[in-house]
Structures are given as C-alpha cells and as structure tokens.
Amino acid sequence: MSATVEHSNAGFPELVTHKVAKPPVKQRWSSWFTTTDHKKIGIMYMVTTFAFFLVGGAEAMMIRLQLGVANNSLITPQHYNQLFTMHGSTMMFLFLTPMIAGLGSYLLPLQIGSRNVAFPRLNALSYWLLLAGGVTLYATLFFTPPEAGWTSYPPLSNQIYSQSAGQDAWIYLFVLTGLSAILSAINLIATVVNNRAPGMSWARVPAFTRSLVAYSALVIISLPVAAGAAVMLLFDRNYGTSFFDPSHGGSPSLYQHLFWFFGQPQSYMALIPAFGIAIEVLVVFGRKTNQSQKAVTTAFIAAAGLSLVTWGSHMFTMPTAPEVRVLFTVLSLLTLVPIAVLVGACLRALNNGSIVTNSPLYYAAGFVGVFVFGAVTSVLMQIFPIAWQVSDSYFMVAQFHYTVAAAGIFGVLAALHYWYPKFTGRLLSEKIAKASFWLIFIGFNVTFLIQHSLGLEGMPRRIYEYGTTSGWQSENMISTFGSFILAVGILLATYNFIRSASRGAVAGPDPWKGNTVEWFVPSPPPANSFDVIPTVRSVEPMKDIRAELERAGAKA
C-alpha cells in the first residue's frame, strides 16, 4: 500500500503501525483560516469555546459579586439581566454544544481510524459559523446586549418589552450556532458511518464516539425545531407576525414547547458525551475492559430518545391539563433508568480495577460524583408537584449546574486532560492538574450546594437583589465565596494548558496506555494522521497492538 513502510520480517503479519516520519512542512499562520484538517479545526473549536467558557465564567463571577450581599448596588438591574442572559447563552450555545462538536471534530476521526471527517470543508464551515454566532452576540457589548434570559421567552422578548436590537442579535446567535451544530452533527454521523477503519464493526466503535453519535442525532432532530421558533420570534419582532403574541391570537406557551423540545435534549447533548468521556477515561485508568459496551450503547440511545419526549418537564407551572403533567412526569422519571445504567458502567470501570490515579481520572470520577447529586435533585424537578415549589428558584439553578454544568466543567476538563497529550504532544503538569481539580471540586460544591437551600427558602432565579429581611445573606455570601475558589481552579487549569504546551514533558503517542486507535498515531498527529490505518480486531485495538509489540519484543 504505502511505499514508505518497510517490508522485512514476516513474523508479525497482523501488526500494522505508523512508521514514517514525514518531513515537517512549514505552515503559514494563514493556514488556520484555510484549513480543512479536522485536527486543526478541532483545535480552533476547542480554543474558541474554551475562551467563551472563560468569558461566560467572568460574567458568572460578576453575577455572584452582585448577589454576595443584600441590596447590592454594584450592578444596575439592566446590566444584571444582560449578564445572566449573556452567561447562559454563552455557556449553552458557545461553550457546551460546540465544545463537544470540537472534541468530536478532533477525536472522532482518530478514534475510528479515519484521516479526516467525511466532509472536511463542511467542518470548516461549521467552525466559522460558530465563530460568526459568537461574534454576533458579543458585538452587542458595544450596543445593548439582550436581557430576556438565555431562554428568551416571549412576550418579554418581543418588540414591545425588549426593544433593543440585542434581542435580535440573540436570535442570530441561536440560528448561526444552531446551523453550525447541525452541519457538524451531520458530518460526525457521516464520518462514523463511512470512514471506520477496516475491522471496526459497529460493535467495536469506542464509547466516546458512540456518545457523539447520540449527541449528533439529538442535534439533528431537535435543533431545527427551536431554530424555527427563534426565526418565528424574529418575524414577530420585526415583521408584524404574531406567532407568540396572545393579543393577536398567538401563544406564548407555543414558544416554550418549541424551545424546550430542543432545550431538554440540549442537556443530554452535554451529558451523554460527558458519560462517553467518563467511561473511556475510567476504563483506561482502571486498566479494565469496557464490559458494559452494549448496556452503555442502549443507555445512550434510551437517554437520547427520552430526552426528545420530556420537554414538558420544563413547563409544569404553565397552564396545562393535569394529564399532560402526569405524562411528562412519568416519561421524565423513566430517564432515570438509562442514567442509572451509565452511572453503573462508570462504577464498574473502577471496581476490581488496577487504578492509575492521574488527573483525567480525577476529573472523570469528579464528574460522576457530582452528577449523582444532580441526578437526585433532577428527580425532584421531574415530579410536577415538587417542581411547583423548586422550579425557577435557586434550587433549580443548583440542579442544572450539578448536571449540565458538571458535564461542562468536569466532563469537558476530563476530556481535555485526557487527550491533551494527543493534541499537543506534551503532558500536563500533574501537580497543577490535581491542585486545580481540588479547587474546582471544592469551589463547585461550595458555590452550588448551598443554592438548593436558597431556592427552598424562596429565592427565585434571575433577581438582581434581595432585601435584608429575606434571610438569604449568609448563604449567598458562601455561594459567592465558593465561586471564587471555582474561578481560581479554572484559571489554574487554564494556566496548566498554556504552560504545558511548551514546557510539558514529551508525551509520546500513548502516555496513558489507551485502548483506542487515536493513541496509535504520533502526538500531535501528522496532517494525514494515519500513514497506515490499523486493522481493528477488538473493542480495544490498542491493547492488541501493545500485546503484539510486546510479543515482537520478546522474540527479538
């Protein structure tokens, strides 16, 4: 096949590997703008979305500063509403979904032994659409940012109650990032279907790639619906239609149905890949075989499917027939079953293992540990009479940070710590990585655990101030204090990413003894990734390759 591979010893005919050191090609900086390499685009995705994550975090810090003491006048009501709108929109549309897309762009082809995604130019388009969406939203900083929340419910978001064009910018953000996510999801699915390495049957596709398939299916099914709702809102605002205007026969609850048809799966677009990451990391660092592959796949499909029929769990306080609430409560409770299977798979990966305690394991185990608490409070949110008390309060703020933000912080950081050597060719500082983990873990729990209590005491979300008679001062102070610990941890992890890119120890292709073929190629991989595409003979091809290398070494 390739003339660059030496033919000599026929003793190990099954073994194939990379061999060739290509002459380094000097690339100009402009290549970042023209590239269709899935790895370069993946890096751009990850750097961009992580930058948005830091900006969204800074917005959250300003929110926590304002709420630190009662009757605070640090931030005006208008700016406060803009802050939480920007925070939510940034984290959901510019960090969570595109970060998963970015990880997918980089890792999915490598995991299945492909040299690129199925549609490389489409991949580039996805990235540039994402960036355009982010630039559109953040351009409003120079005018008037949107202030109707990341959910932008009409009538508050219509032309009467949100007159500034910031709300239109939010709609463009939604549509641009939505289009980006849809195109990227189509690309990922097409890549898995068409570009798998020889021998990689569906049963041998790695767990993270499987989770990306579920993620992509959710994006393709649910996002167009909500993007349609956003466009209808755009028409209501600018062209005199009245889809959501009750005074002209429209329905505000219609918007909520359409929005949450996407909004509910959006949580699972983060949670399912986070579980995919956690399972891969825990299996590798537990030195185990993924024994629950079938169960995990079924759970991914079940969780994704159920998330598409449980949007009404966000609308229990809206005027609805009681039967509808019962239906959505039962369907939402059923989601517990696949979640239990996924948590069980994570536990099983560590049980009876031979655990190597490196930083990716910390983050993956941290995700499981934190998420389980969020799963418990999610059950409370799904039972509609209890939701009547806890929804739209700080209890709910805490609940979705324990689930979705846990996926975004612990899940994504587990992935970035795990694959960082592959991205850069260098190891992260383990000391800094573990220190940042403990800061993030402690800061996260101090910030959000206490918020459950605030919600039960009656503190609604999205309020810019509270009085001294509320009795919420000490809890808010603790939460604000915790957010600073969390922020220091995030900044420390960011510093680690930056310093290790040049100063980290050289990693080699397979520093963790990984199981999947992305560890087969050099770190960072050359432009074409695989000089020779390995033949896959099991769920864990790298174990086979390592075993062959050892046998070859013994013979020689």
Partner 1 sequence: MPIRRPISGTLRHARSRRYDLAAVSSSSFSKPRVTSFLALAAGVALLLAPASAWAITAVPQSGGSPNANAIADLYKIIMFFGIIVFLGVEVFLIRSILRYRASTGAVASRPTDNSKLEIGWTVGAVGLVAVLAAVTFINLPDITTPPNGQPIAEFAQSSASASLVSVPNPPDGKKITINVTGRQFIWRYTYGNKLDSPFSYTQMVAPAETVVVLKIQATDVIHSWWIPALGGKFDAVPGSTNYTWFKAPAPKDAAGDVYTGQCAELCGRQHANMLASVRIVTPAAFKVWLAAQKTRIADANQQSIKTRQKLTRQGQITDLTPPS
In the window 409-438, what residues touch partner 1 (CB under 8 A)? 430, 434, 438
Q: Does 141 bind partner 1 (CB under 8 A)?
A: no
Cβ at position 205, least distance to partner 1 in Å: 17
Give 329's contacts (C-beta < 8 A, 6+ positions apart): 313, 316, 382, 383, 384
SS3 of 382-438: the string is HCHHHHHHHCCEHHHHHHHHHHHHHHHHHHHHHHHHHHHHHHHCECCCHHHHHHHHH
Q: Which of residues 334-373 bind partner 1 (CB under 8 A)?
A: 334, 336-337, 340-341, 343-344, 346-348, 350-358, 361, 365, 368-369, 372-373
Q: Does 526 bind partner 1 (CB under 8 A)?
A: no
Cβ pair 209, 112 in contact under 8 A:
yes
Q: Which is nearer to partner 1, 8 or 34 (CB)?
A: 8
Q: Does 393 bind partner 1 (CB under 8 A)?
A: yes
Q: At what angle do helices 252-285 and 412-424 cross, to 10 degrees?
A: 60
Q: Which is nearer to partner 1, 47 or 160 (CB)?
A: 160
Q: Does 385 bind partner 1 (CB under 8 A)?
A: yes
Q: Does 10 bind partner 1 (CB under 8 A)?
A: yes
Q: Does 460 bind partner 1 (CB under 8 A)?
A: yes
Cβ pair 426, 506 in contact under 8 A:
yes
Q: Which of residues 235-254 bind partner 1 (CB under 8 A)?
A: 246-247, 250-253
Cβ at position 240, least distance to partner 1 in Å: 18
Cβ at position 339, least distance to partner 1 in Å: 8
* Spatial separation of the C-alpha atoms in residues 241 and 224, rounded to whole Å: 20
Q: Does 96 bind partner 1 (CB under 8 A)?
A: no
By rule CB under 8 A, what string of x and - marks binding of each residue 157-196 to partner 1?
A: ----x-----------------------------------
Q: Does 386 bind partner 1 (CB under 8 A)?
A: yes
Stretch that binds partner 1, among 175-183, 265-273, 380-388, 485-493 (CB under 8 A): 380-388
Closest by Cα among 239, 213, 233, 225 to 311:
225
- Which one of residues 53, 259, 268, 466 is an interface residue with partner 1 (CB under 8 A)? 466
Distance of CA 481 to the CA centre of its chain: 26
Q: Does 14 bind partner 1 (CB under 8 A)?
A: yes
- Which one of residues 122, 149, 301, 488 is an interface residue with partner 1 (CB under 8 A)? 149
By rule CB under 8 A, what string of x and - marks binding of each residue 197-236 to partner 1?
A: -xx-------------------------------------
- Which one of residues 474, 498, 502, 503 is an interface residue with partner 1 (CB under 8 A)? 474
- Which one of residues 11, 121, 193, 238 is an interface residue with partner 1 (CB under 8 A)? 11
- Contacts of 65-68 with CB under 8 Å at 24 or more apart are 65/480, 66/464, 66/465, 67/465, 67/466, 67/476, 67/479, 67/480, 68/476, 68/477, 68/480
Cβ at position 545, least distance to partner 1 in Å: 8
Q: Does 314 bind partner 1 (CB under 8 A)?
A: no
Beta bridge partners of 460: 393
Q: Does 74 bind partner 1 (CB under 8 A)?
A: no
DSSP 109-127: HHHTT-SS-S-HHHHHHHH
Q: What does the radius of gyration of the chain's CA atoms come to, in whole angstroms?
A: 24
* Spatial separation of the C-alpha atoms in residues 511 and 116, rounded to whole Å: 23
Cβ pair 526, 40 in contact under 8 A:
no
- The number of residues making up the chain comes to 556
DSSP 424-487: HSBPPPHHHHHHHHHHHHHHHHHHHHHHHHHHHTT-BTT-S---GGGS-HHHHHHHHHHHHHHH
By rule CB under 8 A, what string of x and - marks binding of each residue 34-73 to partner 1?
A: ----------------------------------------
Q: At what angle do helices 97-111 and 412-424 cross, to 10 degrees?
A: 50
Q: Which of residues 272-311 bind partner 1 (CB under 8 A)?
A: 286-289, 291-292, 295
Q: Which is nearer to partner 1, 186 or 334 (CB)?
A: 334
